[in-house]
Amino acid sequence: MSVDLEELARRAKEVEPAWDDLREQRVLESIRRAPPSEPEAPRRRVAWIAAAAIVVFGVSAGGWLWVTGASSSNRVAVVAPRAPSEPPEAARSEMVLADGSTVALDADARVRLALQEPERVVLEQERGRAVYTVAQVPARSFEVHTPAAIVRVRGTVFVVEVDDDATLVEVREGRVEVEARAGDGRRSLLGVGDALSVAATAETVAEPEVGDRSSASAVGGRPSESAVGGRSSASAVGDRPSESAVGGRSSESRPPPPPSADELLARADEARLASDPARAAEALDAFLRHHADDGRAASAAFTLGRVENRRGRHRVAARAFERSRALSPTGPHAEDALAQEALAWSSAGDIERATDAARRYAEAYPSGLHRSRVQRLLSGE
């Protein structure tokens, strides 16, 4: 079938951004606040390339390279901010391994690549929080060793957080097996939404705060003796499971992995275009539940707030605006989000919260774009 590309390009010329007065003013304010730009220094570029070459070589060679999340350091493999809107203090560093797996490190994280071979990759995480996105490579095992546990994966996304007393593992996609180092080396199989805290001593505790729906299957019989309340119920495993047990029985009771971030955003876009705010809200909500670490989360939360406002669900909208700001306190939506939060609380009839948000807005943005509306809230008009 032939494509009339010229006609399509002509129509593309009509695509315009959502550039309204508010956005125009916001960008202008950013320009006014921006410090003078410096001419690009060739020396810096050369230095950056050299540093990148060294660290990429270090990672691909599988050497004993410590990588920390402190983004000011050039010791990381590939330094890539998560999103342009994120504040510098929240910026992460990212390790990219030869097989395409990535490790996003929080500023306090310390991870080293201990072994990188075609059939086995081992990383050691000494402290801090890191998000692992593991490429699916058949017949290659991928392990993260912490002081308290060994986490083995196939292809998945999971978070490992290490502190002095315990290691917390939270699974976002796929499944992982966690083996406690202390005691009898019990193993737990975690699925999507599950979280498990492995104490540095012989105790294993399911983490009630994380994990929203699924539960890990008990493999090998003995249920966890220390699982605590809450929705997550990852259970400890008595005996070392065979590979077939890990791959087979456990997956039957587990819900399918959540849709990808792009898929959910596409659904939200389509629903908004179809004037279906309920479906848009559902997709955005799912995006925020499953992909809260995505660089677009603050923008999605802001959009959710707007959608919920349109649905007349002002309380939910206020929460969404609050979340948008929390996700990106200095991002492009931050100011609007705080003002919208105040207005949404007001519409929901929660005067106390509305006043509180309005007051915070007035303090943070004394000459902000919404100051007159916010001022009206404060004066009780």
Partner 1 sequence: MTSPAAQAEPDERLVARLQEGDDRALTQLYRRHARYIAGVARRLMGDELELDEVVQEAFIALRDRAHTLEEPGRVRSWLVRVTVRGATKRLEKRRRRRRLLAAQPPPRTTTDPVADHELRALFQVLEQVPPKLRVPWSLHRIEGETLPRTAELCDISLATVKRRIAKADARIRAALGREQEG
Residues that bind partner 1 in the complex, under the rule CB under 8 A? 1-3, 5-6, 8-9, 11-13, 15-19, 21, 23-24, 26-28, 30-32, 34, 36-37, 78, 80, 84, 96, 100, 102, 133, 135, 260, 262, 265-266, 268-270, 272-273, 284, 296, 299-300, 303, 332
- Considering the complex, what minimum distance in angstroms separates the CB of residue 132 from partner 1? 13
- Closest CB to partner 1 among 20 and 164? 20
- Closest CB to partner 1 among 187 and 291? 291
- Closest CB to partner 1 among 1 and 41? 1
Q: Look-up: residue for tokens 């690549």?
A: 113
Amino acid, single-letter form, for residue 50: A
- Considering the complex, what minimum distance in angstroms separates the CB of residue 170 from partner 1? 21
Q: How many CB atoms lie within 10 A of CB 289?
A: 13
Specify whether the CB–CB gap between 101 and 133 falls below 8 A: yes
Q: How many CB atoms lie within 10 A of CB 12?
A: 9
- Considering the complex, what minimum distance in angstroms separates the CB of residue 241 from partner 1? 29
Residue 165 phi, psi dihedral angles, 5° rounding: -100, -25
Amino acid, single-letter form, for residue 326: A
Grouping H, G, I as helix, E, B as strand and the rest as coil, residue 133 is strand
- Considering the complex, what minimum distance in angstroms separates the CB of residue 360 from partner 1? 23
- Closest CB to partner 1 among 260 and 347? 260
Cα Dmax for the chain? 69
- Closest CB to partner 1 among 123 and 377? 123
- Closest CB to partner 1 among 102 and 346? 102
- Considering the complex, what minimum distance in angstroms separates the CB of residue 12 from partner 1? 5
Q: Is the dihedral of CA 45, 49, 55, 60 positive or negative?
A: positive
Q: Which residues are registered as beta bridge partners of 131? A: 104, 159
Specify whether the CB–CB gap between 184 and 204 falls below 8 A: no
- Considering the complex, what minimum distance in angstroms separates the CB of residue 31 from partner 1? 5
- Considering the complex, what minimum distance in angstroms separates the CB of residue 8 from partner 1? 5
- Closest CB to partner 1 among 36 and 380? 36
Specify whether the CB–CB gap between 136 and 125 falls below 8 A: no
Those residues whose C-beta lies under 8 Å from the C-beta of residue 179, and which sit 6 or more positions away, are 149, 150, 151, 152, 185, 186, 187, 188
CA–CA separation, 169 and 166 (whole Å): 10
Q: Between β-strands 141-145 and 110-117, what pairing exists: parallel, antiparallel or unpaired?
A: unpaired
- Considering the complex, what minimum distance in angstroms separates the CB of residue 131 from partner 1? 13
- Closest CB to partner 1 among 221 and 273? 273
Q: Which residues of 188-210 are buried (b: 16+ CB within 10 A; e: fewer)?
A: bbbbbbbbbbbbbeebbbbbeeb
Specify whether the CB–CB gap between 219 and 189 falls below 8 A: yes
- Closest CB to partner 1 among 29 and 126? 29
- Considering the complex, what minimum distance in angstroms separates the CB of residue 247 from partner 1? 22
- Closest CB to partner 1 among 103 and 150? 103
Nearest residue to 114 via CA among 125, 105, 103: 125
Count helices and strands in the chain by DSSP H and E runs:
12, 14
Helix (H) or strand (E) holding 124: strand 120-133
- Considering the complex, what minimum distance in angstroms separates the CB of residue 69 from partner 1? 18
